[in-house]
Amino acid sequence: MEMRLVVLFLVVSVSLTEAAGCIPTTKPQCYKKSTNPDDDFYCEWDDPNPKENQTYTLYIWDSGKKSVLYMNTGNQSKKFIPLEELGVISSKTDIWVQTQVRNLTCNSSKISVILNCSVKYSKPNIASMERSAGNLFLSLDEPKDNKSVIYEIRWRERGSEWQNATFETKENTYKDLYTLHLHNRTVYQIQLRRQAKLHSLQCNDSHSLWSDWSALTDIPLEIHIPPVLHLDEKVWSNGTRDIKITWAATSAEETIGGVTYNMNLSVWSCGKPKRIQLSTLNQTFDISVTYSNASISIIATNKVGRSAPKKIIIPPVKHRNECVTFTNITKAKKRCLEWYKMEDGEILPNSVKKSKDKLIKHIKNEVQKFVRHYYILHIFSKQHQTAEMCPFYSIEGAPIKGPGGVNTTDLTHESVVLNWRHIPMAEQRGFLKHYIIWISGHGKTKLHKVPADKTSFLIKNLHPGTSYTISIAGKTIAGKGPNTTVNTETHSKEKGLSWQDQTILSVCVVAFLCTFICSFAARRFKRKLCPVVPSPVVDAAEFIYPQDQQDLSQITEEVHEFVLLLRQELNKSTENVAPGQSTILQNFGLVVFEEEEEEGEEGEVTDLSFMKSCFYPNPSYRGKTLQLPENFHLTDSPIKDNDTESTYRNGLFFETKVQECDKTSL
């Protein structure tokens, strides 16, 4: 018994091991791609084990007739089934797939469908979309049968959860349209799928299959600001200009999915604008243009819209006053002639005529007489370039008006400056050759010719105090125009300083200022390096000399040596001090020892007043320098009301205060 159980277990294990090598497929889906009853069918399923070399057999079983409608074997997981091979399929059918791996077979689950009702559209495609003011306008391609469709749309911000909505469309429309409401400044992702609407009594919407989801689509922001263009121009002498156009990229939210730049260039006056499309990576463009005006327009386009156009005009090269030829026109493949009426202060006229066939001799017969025009001849051989530029008249005439704003300035006794404004171009009626100036006065008339581009002229060699009449007129090849006259009178003599004297005076003033500044700076520098030794301040005083002494020139000042001694003892006697050798400054408690005066000198010493002293000097301080706590001031009288005395001796002023102590005579 036990032996039988072991054998049974081995058999079951081997059977399970062999079965494990065959994995059934998912349920097959059989459908047609439209509601058209004559359409063929497709069947497909998922292969869970694609690495194995497997064989698939598709079975379609008619449940009513109990017979096989279709059977096909192959190694593909998708089958195309022509309608002719199925025959009549009005009843329900069972469909399954049998998988064979080596010697093993396994079957998928069965599905029961009515094949005529099984419809699966292709996944929708977004034909176009536009975003504006928080709304996303979608335009979708229609299904093959052009029937009404049920759509499911889902959207989300990046990294967030999906939001879903469904909508239906109408039949027989060119595009399926839908408007989705979104936040204005947020980037989104969307996907769509669709399902057929079945109108047969035998079918309902549950038999229809959802299409696959469309590809995940990023929705960028709309472009609000057009590109800002920058132009770099390089003018060559051969009639061409190299233009380099650059612009900055739009924001990252606006460039999601890519941005293209559509550019319209008008560089050939007699042709249509040239259209160029550039990708996001290109933010620069080089082009060669003629000397005439050109225009450039650029529009930035992304998935949801386009910016406003940015247009810029490249002005023409400045007009020439003479005819200029830049290149030979014999090898030109194309030519373009443009001409226009010249107007003062306007480089780019409003009305420009152009022609591919007319020559210069033809247009000269067509333009208005006595009016200046301008023509530009362009050619194209290897590139667009300007061949000739020239102002011209069909017929020239004399000016019909004289210069305006005539006046005189800088009047002196011998010269005057005449000023004027150019004659307007419309009143010149020809090319001005020069201006003619007449100066009449002092019985003579002088004539001067001034170039046509000048607006002032210095008239010299005039007589002082003389009245002059000055006239000026413009002249063309056809003759002289009307005069404009002004009267003036020179000064009788030169007023003020001449320019030579003014120059000399200016130089002197500058030299004086420089000297003063340098001296002031040197003094300040010297004070910083060598500080000034302070000197005693001596107030002015009246000195009284003896009546009998008349010769003041012989008065000399004697310098005495002295020693300051501090009093050590109040009661010490001063008897040892010889008279005439010491001076007691009793106000300060000091004694001054002096040497013997030389005989025969006069006017050296003014008698000192009596000074009181409460202290006596210490003899040990002989030879020390006298230092007083305050400056001395000489008073008008020897003794003031406040009991002070002023004394002058040997160039020193002393002011002493009389105290209650004894008075000692010096």
- Angle, CA of 194, 199 and 205, to the nearest 5°: 45
666 and 545 both lie in a single domain: yes
Q: Mention every residue, 6+ apart, whose C-beta is less than 8 A from residue 116.
A: 37, 89, 90, 200, 202, 203
Considering only residues 560 and 523, tell me which one the structure prediction assigns the higher pLDDT. 523
Q: Other CB atoms closer than 10 Å to residue 506's CB: what's the count?
A: 10
Chain center to CA of 606: 89
Segment 336-385, tens digit of pLDDT: 999 998 876 555 567 889 998 888 888 988 899 999 999 999 998 888 89
- At position 521, the amino acid (one-letter code) is A
Enter the tokens of residue 426.
């419309």
Backbone angles phi, psi at 613, to 5 degrees: -140, 130
Domain contains 458:
yes
DSSP assignment of 57-108 equals EEEEEETTTTEEEEEEEES-SEEEE-HHHH----S-EEEEEEEEETTEEEE-
pLDDT in tens, 268-289: 888 888 888 887 778 899 999 9
Q: Determine contact, residues 126/217, Cβ cutoff 8 Å.
A: yes
- Give yes or no: residues 161 and 132 share one domain: yes
Assess whether pLDDT exceeds 70 at residue 436: yes
The answer to pTM > 0.75 is: no
Q: Same domain, yes or no, for 103 and 152?
A: no
Q: What is the mean pLDDT of residues 184-198?
A: 91
**Contact criterion met (CB below 8 Å) for 231 and 200:** no
Q: Which residues are registered as beta bridge partners of 68?
A: 61
- In terms of domains, do 580 and 645 share one? yes
Count Cα neighbours of 228 within 13 Å in the Cβ-side half-sphere: 5
130 in the same domain as 100 = no
Between CA 137 and CA 181 the distance in angstroms is 9
**Residue 459 and residue 576 share a domain:** no
Within a 10 A sphere around the Cβ of 404, how many other Cβ atoms? 12
Structure tokens at 613: 């002293």
Q: Is 362 helix (H, G, I), strand (E, B) or coil?
A: helix
User: Is 541 found in the same domain as 659?
Assistant: yes
User: Does residue 367 lie within any of the structural domains?
Assistant: no
More confident residue, 656 or 87: 87
**Domain match, 549 and 586 both:** yes
Question: Is the separation of the CB atoms in 220 and 303 below 8 Å?
Answer: yes
560 lies in the same domain as 649: yes
User: Which residues, 6+ apart, have CB-to-CB distance to 562 below 8 Å?
Assistant: 583, 592, 593, 594, 626
Which contiguous run of DSSP H or E holds residue 5?
Answer: helix 2-19
Give whole-number Cα distances, 271 to 328, 378, 384, 664, in Å.
21, 12, 11, 128
Element (H, E) at 139: strand 135-140
549, exposed or middle or buried, with CB in 10 Å at 0-12, 13-18, 19+? exposed
- Identify residue 561 by its one-letter amino acid code: E
Q: Give the chain's end-to-end CA distance (angstroms, integer).
A: 166
Indicate the pairing of strand 126-132 with strand 135-140. Answer: antiparallel
Using the 3D structure, point to which of 95, 117, 139 is the last residue of a domain. Answer: 117
Same domain, 152 and 179: yes
Contact 201/164 with Cβ under 8 angstroms?
A: no
pLDDT in tens, 4-22: 433 343 333 334 434 456 8
Kindly state whether residue 621 falls inside one of the protein's structural domains.
yes
CATH code of 32's domain: 2.60.40.10
Q: What is the model's pLDDT at position 663? A: 41
The helix/strand/coil state of 220 is coil
Size of the chain, expressed as the number of residues it contains: 666
* pLDDT of amino acid 547: 46
Q: Which comes out higher in pLDDT, residue 433 or 585?
A: 433
Is pLDDT above 70 for 642? no
Query: Is 661 within a domain?
Result: yes
Q: What is the largest CA-CA distance in the chain?
A: 180
Query: In terms of C-beta density within 10 A (0-12 exposed, 13-18 middle, 19 or more buried), how is residue 592 classed?
Result: buried
Give the model's confidence band at 216: pLDDT under 50 very low, under 70 low, under 90 confident, else very high. very high
Q: How far apart are CA 616 and CA 592, in angstroms?
A: 11
DSSP assignment of 557-598, as one string?
-------EEE---TT---TTSPTTSEEEETTTTEEEE-PPPP
In a domain, 544, yes or no: yes
Which domain-ending residue is among 489, 522, 546? 489
* C-alpha to C-alpha distances, 88 to 34, 112, 371, nearest whole angstrom: 18, 16, 91
Q: What is the pLDDT of residue 154?
A: 96
Q: Residue 575's domain spans which residues?
A: 537-666
Name the domain count of the chain: 4
DSSP tally for the chain: helices H, then strands E? 5, 43
What is the identity of the amino acid at 594?
Answer: E
145 and 59 part of one domain = no
Q: Which residue has the tokens 């204005």?
A: 184
Nearest residue to 333 via CA among 387, 261, 276: 387
**Identity (one letter) of the amino acid at 659?**
Q
User: What does the alpha-carbon distance between residue 524 and residue 520 come to, in Å, rounded to a whole number?
Assistant: 6
CA distances from 224 to 248, 253, 278, 306, 507 (A): 14, 12, 19, 8, 66
Q: 595: how many CB neighbours lie within 10 A of its CB?
A: 10
427 pLDDT above the threshold of 90? yes
Q: Which residues of 15-51 are buried (b: 16+ CB within 10 A; e: fewer)?
A: eeeeeeebbbbeebbbbbbbbeeebebbbbbebeeee
Would the CA dihedral through 174, 179, 180, 184 be positive or negative?
positive
More confident residue, 185 or 627: 185
Residue that wins the pLDDT comparison between 248 and 604: 248
In a domain, 626, yes or no: yes
Question: How confident is the prediction for the chain on average, in pLDDT?
Answer: 78
Q: Same structural domain for residues 33 and 72?
A: yes
pLDDT of residue 486: 95
**Assigned domain for 629 exists:** yes
- Specify if 335 maps to a domain: no
Q: Examine the fold and report which residue of 461, 489, 517 is the final residue of a domain before the chain moves on.
A: 489
Highest mean pLDDT among 257-261, 381-385, 472-476: 472-476
Cβ pair 396, 429 in contact under 8 A: yes
